[in-house]
Each structure stands twice: as structure tokens, then as C-alpha cells.
A and B are shown apart, each in its own frame.
Chain A
């Protein structure tokens, strides 16, 4: 293996003089005071390799020895990833003894000694390739497929497979023979370089199935799809994290990978505290059972921030290959971009806009393109849906990370300061936000069959009412309440009704926080019925009194169980109120 010696240090960037071949993104270890500090090569020039150190570089000296591994940043994949709390380099945080993170101390991602009951699915003699299912074990409650390692590119022959029985993760459970008649043993675990997409699937059609999140402003108005991509930009305090947490609790996914990338530790602690308690309504199991957390908080080493999103993505892709619906959330992708910026500045690269690296757009695009709905070689399907948050400087969306992300993400959930200030949560701006999937014919068809006929048209109608309402609001503001026809007030309040009942949602209320699509459809129809009605009012104050009363009752409905007694009571009262006023 190649070795080297440190020749220069500036912050977490080191230069190494190497004695042999070295690869871009190769992992190397600095040997310093009996600890080994992990680093990644990010540039090579002649005999000099530049590496970012995933740890504090305090005390490191010129002349310190470096060992290269010949491998890129790889993580371990296998049964035992679920419910784990990892750092950005896939160290199992729960296994690190010390209360403080000591540098150079790493903890394996999965336990190779752990025993699982393995049931074979493939047969001796089968021709198989990377990603093909050899057998299955139970991990928590999911059918965890043991696959031919992704690194096996060609078709190989399965010459032996273990019988049903209990095996350790590290045990060989199958053997394959390649063209050169070499026999390779396969265990339940494999390694994969995080920066390389896992592409062991037949094809990647356009996403079309709605991915329910329980958030009305998303599901109804700007739907996310299984295998879709979206992002949530917003100034600080606008509600990005609360929204992502809400999604992570309620989304209809088989499993969730949460990447806390350069954000607050206390927010992750909240998940650590809540998820073992909270119940996933669909399965009746604890949320923690379907969740894996990759956590590199803002005070943890900056270089590992970048790694953390790739680690999250690779874990998500791994489970997708088992035919599962995976949702990957990252908060915040801006912190990852900033980590790139810090390194690029230190290497004195020519800076792009706002001093971000020139290739920022390409990096973001590559990452987002790893999400998707895929058809596996065995005909099954799986998906990785990705939603990232973006934290634009000064809340101004005209900045490189937002702009680059907008080019590639298909859904845009813009959080507006104004709505947050007015406590209109989630602060998703109704008009600027969009879901491109609403324009997909495939989605439209899916909605027709699974929600109701012409659902997409119904949604656009609701959006039109919102749009008109906002225009009207501006006119009223300029001209004054008295100076406009009562009509205008009615138009405004109809849009307020949709805003209050469909868009606004209390993330901290047990019932309101999660609305299944069936209920969303019911409520939207109800609200739209009212929007279709004509009313007669004496003056504009009457308009607001009437609608406030309506909104109040509708809100109570949102706070009560779907079709419960109370729910029906409010529904009835709404009927009464309307009868008195409608023409």
C-alpha cells in the first residue's frame, strides 16, 4: 500500500507527499500519537496528495506518517442498519463509550457476530448479478434481502447456497463462480463506496405514485411521489426542521433515513427521545424501528458533513434494492455545500458565485439524481424519495445552493418568513411552491384511480382560488375595505378558508399533525363545495364574521378524529351556518 508523510497543514486540509499511486477520494489514515485519523484525498498533484481530515487536526505535525487504503469512503451494508444512530462516517454512536467524541475512535456500523435466521431464495446453479436476492432475514419487521454484492457487475453462477438456518452476519451464506472459474464467498454484509450510485436495477421510470406524507400542503396541493425529489428552502426559524420531522413521522414509507447534516444536536436528541416512544399508525410499531439516523451535527467535523449525506443515500439505495419504499431526508443540504466551500477556499480554487465551488451545481445534480423509483431485475420495484432542506443566506432564494437545487428537484416547498411570522404553519408559500408531478400524466392517472377522478383538476381549482384570494387581498389593501365590492371580500375569504383548513396544519396536535389522503380528499371537497356557493351579505364585516365562524368550525373538525361523533357535530353545524346564509 502507498504511504506518505504530511508536508503541510492548514485547518483540516493536509498535504501529503506520497511514495506510490494514490486515487482521488481514496481514504487514508494519519498516524498521530497512537491514533489513526481518517482523511479523504480530494486532489492530487504530482507526488502531493491533498486530503481533508475528518477529525480535528490539532497537534498534527509535518512528517507525521500517512497510510493509504486503496479504497474510497466505503460503508458497510447488511442486516443491522435499521434503528441505528450513526455519525457522518457510519460510526455507531451508541457504541462509543466516551461522552465526548474522541478523535480516532471508530465504532463498527453493524455487528458481524449477530445471528439472523437466513432463508434462501435463490437456487444452486442460478445465474446472478449484483443486487440479486439470495435469501432473506428478518430485521426488526422488514424482510431484509441478502443480495449478491453490488460490486459484482457480471452474471456469475451460484455454486452453493446455505440452507435455511441461523448464521452470523459475517458467515458465508453463498458462493458464486465467475467467468474465470474463481469462487467467491458471499456473507450477509458488503461494502460500497458512498460517492458511487448503486445502479443495480433494470430501469428507472418516471415516478407516479403518490407518497403520502400526512402534510396537507404537500399531499393535496404539491404532492411528492415515491422516488421523487423535493426541497424545502426557508429562512431560519421558518419551520424546515419541524416540517421534516412531521414527514419523517407520518410518511407512508417502509423506512426512513434521516440525515442531520450540520444542524443542531438538540434537534436530533428530540428524535432520539421521541422515536422510541411514538407509534407508526400503519404498522403499530415504534417509529424508531423503521428509522436510521445519520447525524453529523454542526459542531462535528466539517468534512464528515459532506460524507453524511452520501452515507444516508447509500443506505437508502441499499434498502431500495430490496424492493422497499425508502424516504431519505437531509437537514440541511446548505451545510454540506458550505463544507465544500470551506475546503475549496482552503485549496485556493477559483471560486464560483458566493465563493462556492464552481462545480456545486453538478455535485447537487448528481446527488439528487440518485433518488428514484426503480424496477429491479426481478420485476419488483423500490424507491428512494429524497427531500432536502436548504438554508439560504439571509433567507434570499437567489443564492447558489437554492438555485442549483431548484434545477434538479421536482418539488419546491418554499417556506415564507411572512407566513411563519403570522404563525401560518407549515409556512409553505402556496403560490410559489410547486410539484412538477402534478403535470405528469402518469401521476394524474394514478390519482384518478387511487384518489378520485379528475383529482388533479380539483387541486388546480383550489390553487386558483388561493391565487385569486391573494390578488384580491392586495387590492383591498390598496383601496380599503369599503372601497371594493363585497364580492372581493367573499373571494378573499374563500381563499382564506382553503388556507386555514387545507394549508395550515398544527404539527404539534396529535390528530391534526397527520392527515391521511382519504381525509384530505374529503376536506378539500367540503371546502370547495363552499367555495362554489353564492352568498348574500349586507356589508363586508358580515363576510368576515361568517367565514371566521366557518373556519372556526372547520378547524375543530381538523382537531377531531375523522368521522368521529364530534367531527360530525361540527360538520352538521357547518351545514346549519351555511343554510342560513347561502342563496
Chain B
């Protein structure tokens, strides 16, 4: 990196070097200020009198007690302008696509938070075509929601698909510990979709130093704020993989001798993650930042500190699971949740949406109970049998991540399945909706009677 300015003071006496940090004596240094140690970017993480401790992002291998240190007099910054569009950057916001340097206003990353009374309530639906999301866990602009997935699941593929289908003005990818293959996947996918002109990427790959990752979400969010707040655009931020981000936090806090809390994570994990996720917002002038992230799990364990803290911060989660019955990855309807879905369901979508969603999931739950019964060697009732058949269809036609249809079609598909496997009174949908949407065999006298006397509950 080339950062030297003529008048800068160069320090050459390091008093201490650890795996991630070094310490030296210097004066007039600001907290969180950036520095260059032997050509490597570093940041002030501790000041004690004239002793300054620097976290060296690429690591300290080969750093010597006489290495050159220059302070830059500013926190980490990103130059923002329309020029960012279509470009690929590293964690420091430097181009990695052989393109020109960015011209633009220099903005400190990790800036102040939005005044909560100036936010608007998120209210615009994001259609993804995936029924596991649009039908069961509808997401809206200004929301923050992660995919919870085991490492062997195609979360990056799903996320790229979601991003491309979403009607966003900008897609900002923050890749942390991205394998080279996945990096190329994103690059190709975006190029082929002809979407490169609305995509901005900040990439830390597996072969880059892990501590550098810590800058990626802030870089992505700073770019996002530029487009969402200053340009009133709808911005989608993709962060993958936040588990690797948290791991990097743990490395640093460990090197700084901080007392770890649960699962060796720093005690500030909640605040650290919240600072990033809370950048998601609906701005008053129409712009928005929506964050879709990936949190990889260890064998589906959501009680681990990383997914646990994430769940406490985000507005729901989308849980990816392989359904062995249909041989496809689905969005698990039980463990997934979009907490903002009620803002749009039935309001921005068809009136029957909330009830159809609930009915679909409830019947799927009945099927899972029937399955447990079968596994425990109990006899199945005729209803149980029907539920099991329904579950296969439901999973294939609606839960699978390869579904790509409009929301009305999802609702019609669900009605179709209800009709195929159940009687109207079994689905537990409000009478008025049944009358309107059940169609066909509804005309049968006796069935109508039945519905009326057994008008079902929510």
C-alpha cells in the first residue's frame, strides 16, 4: 500500500510484537487511527500513555522491532461515488479488478448510527420467487435477515439468486473468507445476469489474512449508506459468511488478552454484530438498506454463540435444510421466521396470504407428527396418510429453493394442494376465504354445510 506523505513522521522502534499486534511509543495519535507498519495496514486499538498498540490486519509475520511505522491521521475510510458501481475491492476498499482508483468523497467507515425517530417502518415487499421466502417468510426492504445453513449447503448460490431476483438498485457483496471458487461463482453469476452494473463487491478471500475481514461489513455498509441515503436507492447488502467474521473477532480479542465469554467469543460479540446489522434501515426519502447475510452453523447448532447472538439481533432467519424425502434443499418452515412478514402479508399481497401460509405450515407440521408416529411404530390414521402425501408435494412445489414463481401463483399452488389432499374444514382457514378460493367441489351442498357449521379457527 502506498500511503506515505512527505511530512509524515516515521517511527522505527517497536517495543512489543504479538501475533496480531505491535506496540510502539508515539505521540499525538488518535484512537482507531490507521497506520502502516512495514507496508501493512494497521489500526490503533489501545493507547496507554505514549504506548500505542496497533492491530496489524495482515498479521505480524516478519515484522521486526525496527520496522517502519507511519500514522495516517484518520480512521479507515472509503471513497464513495457512483464510480463504485460494478467494481471489485479488497477489504481496504482498494480495487482488485485492475480498474482505476475510485474518485470520490472520503468517508470514515463504521460511521454514526441513524437516529431511531428518523427511521421509517420497513414496508416494501421484496419478491424473490422462492416460496419458502415469499410465501412463508416474506421479507421487506430495510430488514436484516441471515440464512442459517450448514457449511455444505448452497447458501451462496441461494443468496446470489435472491439478490438477482430482488428488485434492488444496488447489490453490495461483502465476502468474508470467501473461497476462490465462490468468489468466481459470484463474479460469473453477476456478469452473466448482466447485473454487473449494479453490483459492488468487497472481498476477503480464504487466502487473505482473516483479520482483514473485520473491515468488510463496514466497507459494504458505508457504500450502502452512500447509495441509500444520499442517492435514495434501494440497496441490498449481502454478507457472507458472518461466522467467519465473528471468528476473526475472536482471534483479535484473544490476542488482546480479553476474557472470552461463551464459545470463546468476545463478550462484545452482540454489540459488534448489532452495529453491522442495524445499518439496515428504511430511510425517510425512499432509500433503504436491506441486509441478507449468511451464518454458517456447526451441525445445525443454533445455540452456539454466533447464531445465537445473530438471532437476537436480526429480524428472523432463513433456515436451509436438505429434505431427504425429495432430495432437495428447502427453506425449513419451522425454524425459519421473518419477523417483518406481517407488515406486508395480506396487505401488499393477496388477502388470503396469512391464512394460507399458516394452514400450509400447520398441515406440514401434522405430517411431521405423523412421521414421528410411524417411526415409533404406531399405526397411522387415514388423515396421517394424507398429510404425509401432502408434505411431499408441499416440499417439492413450495419449500424447495429452486422454486421461482410469483406470490399469487404460490397461493394458488397451496390452495391446489389443500384441495387435493384435504377437505375444506380440515385446513382451518376462515370461512369467507374458503368460499372465495376453494372453488370447484365447494359447490357440493353437504360440504358447504360442513364448512358453515365448523367454521374453523385461525
The finding on whether chains A and B are genuine partners in a shared complex, rather than unrelated, reads yes
Residues of A that sit less than 8 Å from B by CB: 7-11, 15, 56-63, 85, 93-94, 96, 98-103, 235-237, 262, 264-266, 268-270, 272-273, 295, 297-300, 302, 335, 338-339, 341-342, 345-346, 351, 354-355, 391, 393-396, 421-423, 480-482, 506, 508-509, 541, 549, 551-552, 555-556, 559
The complex places the Cα of A429 from the Cα of B358 at a distance, in Å, of: 22
Q: Which of A57, A99, A480, A556 contacts B32 (CB 8 A)?
A: A57
A298 x B313 contact (CB < 8 A): yes
B30 x A93 contact (CB < 8 A): no
A297 in contact with B271 given A9-B46, A393-B305, A481-B378 (CB within 8 Å): no
A354 in contact with B262 given A10-B47, A273-B121 (CB within 8 Å): yes
Jot down 22 A-B pairs with beta carbons below 8 A, ordered by A.
Answer: A10-B45, A15-B48, A57-B31, A58-B30, A58-B108, A61-B28, A61-B31, A62-B29, A99-B118, A100-B115, A236-B311, A237-B311, A269-B120, A272-B116, A298-B270, A298-B275, A355-B260, A355-B267, A391-B312, A395-B303, A509-B458, A552-B455
The complex places the Cα of A268 from the Cα of B117 at a distance, in Å, of: 8
The complex places the Cα of A61 from the Cα of B112 at a distance, in Å, of: 19
**3 closest residue pairs by CB, A with B:** A298-B274, A394-B303, A299-B278
**B41 at the A interface (CB under 8 A):** no
**B91 at the A interface (CB under 8 A):** no
**B10 at the A interface (CB under 8 A):** no
B113 x A555 contact (CB < 8 A): no
Shortest C-beta distance, A511 to chain B (Å), equals 12
Shortest C-beta distance, B337 to chain A (Å), equals 6
A265 x B119 contact (CB < 8 A): yes
A101 in contact with B308 given A265-B278, A297-B278, A338-B267 (CB within 8 Å): no
B278 x A264 contact (CB < 8 A): yes
Shortest C-beta distance, B334 to chain A (Å), equals 6
Q: What residues of B have a CB within 8 angstroms of the CB of A236 in the complex?
A: 308, 311-312
Q: What residues of A have a CB within 8 angstroms of the CB of B32 in the complex?
A: 57-59
The complex places the Cα of A19 from the Cα of B381 at a distance, in Å, of: 83
Q: What residues of A have a CB within 8 angstroms of the CB of B194 in the complex?
A: none
Can you list, as one digit per residue, whether each of B261-294 has a CB less than 8 Å from chain A (1) or not (0)? 1100001101100110011010110000000000
A237 x B31 contact (CB < 8 A): no
**B351 at the A interface (CB under 8 A):** no
Q: Which residue of A lies closest to B281 (CB)?
A: A265
B278 x A58 contact (CB < 8 A): no
**B94 at the A interface (CB under 8 A):** no
From DSSP, what is the main secondary structure of chain B's interface residues?
loop
The complex places the Cα of A480 from the Cα of B313 at a distance, in Å, of: 41
* Residue from A265, A423, A506 whose CB has the most chain B CB atoms within 10 Å: A265
A9 in contact with B31 given A237-B337, A272-B117, A299-B275 (CB within 8 Å): yes
Can you list, as one digit per residue, whether each of B129-163 has a CB less than 8 Å from chain A (1) or not (0)? 00000000000001100000000000000000000
From DSSP, what is the main secondary structure of chain A's interface residues?
mixed
Q: What residues of A have a CB within 8 angstroms of the CB of B167 in the complex?
A: none
Q: Which of B75, B113, B115 contacts A58 (CB 8 A)?
A: B75
**B101 at the A interface (CB under 8 A):** no
Q: What residues of A have a CB within 8 angstroms of the CB of B379 in the complex?
A: 482
A394 x B261 contact (CB < 8 A): no
Q: What residues of A have a CB within 8 angstroms of the CB of B27 in the complex?
A: 62
**B100 at the A interface (CB under 8 A):** no
Q: What residues of A have a CB within 8 angstroms of the CB of B188 in the complex?
A: none
Q: What residues of A have a CB within 8 angstroms of the CB of B456 in the complex?
A: 552
B116 x A508 contact (CB < 8 A): no
Q: Which residue of B lies closest to A393 (CB)?
A: B262
The complex places the Cα of A556 from the Cα of B112 at a distance, in Å, of: 49
- Additional pairs, 18, CB under 8 Å, beyond known A11-B268, A235-B311, A299-B278: A8-B46, A10-B45, A58-B31, A61-B28, A61-B47, A94-B117, A98-B115, A100-B111, A236-B308, A237-B311, A237-B316, A265-B113, A265-B114, A299-B113, A338-B267, A351-B259, A396-B303, A552-B456
**B93 at the A interface (CB under 8 A):** no
* Residue from B116, B261, B278, B457 whose CB has the most chain A CB atoms within 10 Å: B116
A100 in contact with B112 given A57-B32, A266-B122 (CB within 8 Å): yes
**B49 at the A interface (CB under 8 A):** yes
* Residue from B50, B279, B337, B457 whose CB has the most chain A CB atoms within 10 Å: B457
Q: Which residue of A lies closest to B275 (CB)?
A: A299
**B386 at the A interface (CB under 8 A):** no
Can you list, as one digit per residue, whether each of B317-338 has a CB less than 8 Å from chain A (1) or not (0)? 0000000000000000011010
Shortest C-beta distance, A66 to chain B (Å), equals 14
Shortest C-beta distance, B196 to chain A (Å), equals 31
Q: What residues of A have a CB within 8 angstroms of the CB of B371 in the complex?
A: none
A101 x B115 contact (CB < 8 A): yes
**B423 at the A interface (CB under 8 A):** no
The complex places the Cα of A393 from the Cα of B308 at a distance, in Å, of: 7
**B342 at the A interface (CB under 8 A):** yes
A299 in contact with B274 given A56-B112, A99-B229, A341-B267 (CB within 8 Å): yes
Shortest C-beta distance, A395 to chain B (Å), equals 7
Q: What residues of B have a CB within 8 angstroms of the CB of A393 in the complex?
A: 262, 305, 308
The complex places the Cα of A422 from the Cα of B275 at a distance, in Å, of: 32
Q: Which residue of A lies closest to B116 (CB)?
A: A265
**B454 at the A interface (CB under 8 A):** yes
Shortest C-beta distance, A9 to chain B (Å), equals 4
The complex places the Cα of A264 from the Cα of B278 at a distance, in Å, of: 7
A101 x B47 contact (CB < 8 A): no
* Residue from B108, B111, B121, B270 whose CB has the most chain A CB atoms within 10 Å: B270
Can you list, as one digit per residue, whether each of B225-266 has a CB less than 8 Å from chain A (1) or not (0)? 000010000000000000000000000000000111110000
The complex places the Cα of A519 from the Cα of B42 at a distance, in Å, of: 65
**B340 at the A interface (CB under 8 A):** yes
* Residue from A60, A100, A346, A559 whose CB has the most chain B CB atoms within 10 Å: A100
The complex places the Cα of A60 from the Cα of B268 at a distance, in Å, of: 21
The complex places the Cα of A132 from the Cα of B384 at a distance, in Å, of: 69
The complex places the Cα of A85 from the Cα of B50 at a distance, in Å, of: 42
Q: Which of B45, B119, B378 contacts A269 (CB 8 A)?
A: B119
Q: What residues of A have a CB within 8 angstroms of the CB of B47 in the complex?
A: 8-10, 61-62
Q: Which of A60, A266, A270, A541 contacts B31 (CB 8 A)?
A: A60
Q: What residues of B have a CB within 8 angstroms of the CB of A509 in the complex?
A: 458
* Residue from B117, B270, B278 whose CB has the most chain A CB atoms within 10 Å: B117
The complex places the Cα of A555 from the Cα of B458 at a distance, in Å, of: 8
The complex places the Cα of A32 from the Cα of B73 at a distance, in Å, of: 15
B121 x A269 contact (CB < 8 A): yes
The complex places the Cα of A583 from the Cα of B281 at a distance, in Å, of: 61
Q: Which of A8, A85, A295, A555 contacts B49 (CB 8 A)?
A: A8
Q: What residues of A have a CB within 8 angstroms of the CB of B50 in the complex?
A: 62
Q: Which residue of B lies closest to A62 (CB)?
A: B47
A508 in contact with B342 given A9-B31, A58-B75 (CB within 8 Å): yes
**B397 at the A interface (CB under 8 A):** no
Q: What residues of B have a CB within 8 angstroms of the CB of A552 in the complex?
A: 454-457
A549 x B49 contact (CB < 8 A): no
Q: What residues of A have a CB within 8 angstroms of the CB of B120 in the complex?
A: 269
The complex places the Cα of A395 from the Cα of B31 at a distance, in Å, of: 36
